[in-house]
Structure 1
Amino acid sequence: MDIFTLIRTKYNTLSQTQKKIADWILEHGNEIILMSIGEIAAKCSTSEATVMRFLRKLGFDSYQLFKVKVAQDIVDVTPRAVYEDVSSEDSVNEIKQKVIQSTIDAIRDIDKLIEDSTIEKAIEIMANAKRIFFFGVGASGAIAKDAFHKFLRLGINTIYCSDSHIMSIMCSHMTEKDAVLAISHSGESREIIDAIELAKENKAKVISFTSYPNSTLAKLSDVVFLSATKETKFRSDAMVSRIVQCVIIDILYVSLVLKLGSEAIVNVNKSRLAVAKKKK
């Protein structure tokens, strides 16, 4: 994983001061190889010790090793063009280009952020589940409903819910044969956590989508898909994370279709025919 992707995927685990250092590095990556740690600290209005704590969080024991990694990655990446934030002085074209680029980068990060084995484990759970529940509230509820709509086409027993009371009631009756796909950007939504705790008590399998690896939801889950992104001044990390979540859902959907084989293809075609007559 290149250093700039690493910073972005760990961004939501950083303190406010560390995020300031991360922002500066993402926007000035080309300059780092000629700078001392003291100069970076000065640019970020912090101390060398704070910069070192930031580097250790990324897995580096020394500033020199970090600089070597930056030098290696800078050949293939142009950080300022990629990570520069939108400003109030930008033209519509500049805003368009920056939003498109940040979204592309977030999607590309999926390849480095999510292991193939994680996808395989989730598919195994879904393929063997008697019922699959899709939970989310607010903006996450929209993503959960999109996932429900996709997997419903496969002819499997899928259920969608965004009502906290009904989610909890459903989870109180789950068994080890059930699976829940729960979506919460923060991983701390009380509505979701209350329901998932009940699901776990009943030994149901839990697949979660969140941007925070140390969140309560992540800790309760059998499989965790991280959708971490870098928040900017005019665009919250939750906005881009929803796009990332949709892409991951598509990966799961296609993978499950292939695992289920010809029966799934037949069911997808049946679903298409069922709604075809509703179109002119």
Structure 2
Amino acid sequence: MNFENLNTDDFSSTDSAIYHYLMSNYANAASMRVREIATASHTSASSVMRFIRKLGFNSYPEFIGFLKQSIHQPPAENELDFREQVVESLQADQFSMNLQENLMVLADKIINSDQIVFIGIGISGIMCEYAARRLATLGINSFAVTDPYYPLALRLHNTTDNLLITISNSGQTPDLLEMMAYYQPLQDFQMVTITGNGESSLAKMSHLVLSHQYTKPRKYGFYDNSTQIPTMFIIESLLRILEKYPEVSGMDSADF
């Protein structure tokens, strides 16, 4: 068993409290007793033991042994492996065949939309801010939303031709799915997803999906540890296409 493939969706609030404490104090926890972890996570010793058994460990010493081994375990992936995997993901037959066509479709949608909203959380949110800023420099009305509780519906009230572009490597972020589910049945909203999981729930909700093939499990099941190179490649490729549109290329400094 390891934390990288851990599914946290079915954790109770007590499980989450223990889990988040362990993830924030990973190295120190390896030398702590059950009661110390319970006190630090504001739970009980019995709750900690139930959580450890839920992870698949038979005893507390077995769990501590796993933590100590994980701390000293060398990375399994070297720099060459990383480069090869990213390059292979960008050169995959399905990716390369569909990407150009989907980028052209997305570029048309952007040109014909009144408002473009990039939506993402965490590192994906940073990619959204970058993409929105780059589109804005081309004179395209765009902005980024990185907070799933942002009152976007109020901001877009009585607007038409809205294009929502979500960026999510997993395509399974609960807060993002809940947010986008509101817009799925509405008119005047088209949804596009840039993701590393073309079969994800978010992809299935979208009208257009740009999916790359490089994915990596979350660090300890919680922290996003994936590279954003494929996403950045898609964004930059889209910008190159948009720059050739007469609506964009015909603009000069006097238009701003």
Amino acid aligned to 1:108: Q
- In the TM superposition, residue 148 of structure 1 has moved relative to its aligned partner by 1.1
* Alignment match of 1:247 (pick from 223, 228, 233): 233
Match of 2:242 in 1: 256
- In structure 1, the gaps of 5 or more residues are 1-86, 272-280
2:121 is paired with a residue whose SS is coil
Aligned residue runs from structure 1 range 126-137, under 5 A: 126-137=110-121
Q: 1:186 to 1:99 in 2, by over 3 A?
A: closer
- In the TM superposition, residue 240 of structure 1 has moved relative to its aligned partner by 5.1
Number of aligned pairs? 179
- In the TM superposition, residue 101 of structure 1 has moved relative to its aligned partner by 2.6
TM-score normalised by structure 1 residue count: 0.55
Q: 1:134 to 1:270 in 2, by over 3 A?
A: same
What RMSD, in angstroms, separates the aligned Cα atoms of the two structures? 3.3
* Alignment match of 1:103 (pick from 86, 96, 104): 86
1:219-254 deviations in Å (ceiling 9; x for gaps): 1111101122254899x9x65552101100111111
- In the TM superposition, residue 187 of structure 1 has moved relative to its aligned partner by 1.2
Match of 1:214 in 2: 199
Q: 1:215 to 1:100 in 2, by over 3 A?
A: closer
CA distance in 1, matches of 2:152, 2:140: 22
Task: Indicate whether 1:188 and 2:172 are aligned.
Answer: yes
Checking the alignment, whether the CA contact within 8 Å between 1:103 and 1:240 is kept in structure 2 is no
1:130-187 deviations in Å (ceiling 9; x for gaps): 0100110011111111111211101121111111111553576264411011011121
Q: 1:223 to 1:175 in 2, by over 3 A?
A: farther
Match of 2:23 in 1: none
Q: 1:115 to 1:98 in 2, by over 3 A?
A: closer
**Percent identity among equivalent residues?**
19
CA distance in 2, matches of 1:148, 1:233: 26
CA distance in 2, matches of 1:199, 1:117: 25
- In structure 2, the gaps of 5 or more residues are 1-72
Higher-helix-fraction structure: 1
Checking the alignment, whether the CA contact within 8 Å between 1:131 and 1:158 is kept in structure 2 is yes
Match of 1:123 in 2: 107
Checking the alignment, whether the CA contact within 8 Å between 1:172 and 1:198 is kept in structure 2 is no
Aligned residue runs from structure 1 range 84-99, under 5 A: 88=74, 95-99=78-82
CA distance in 2, matches of 1:171, 1:196: 15
CA distance in 1, matches of 2:229, 2:102: 19
Q: 1:191 to 1:108 in 2, by over 3 A?
A: same
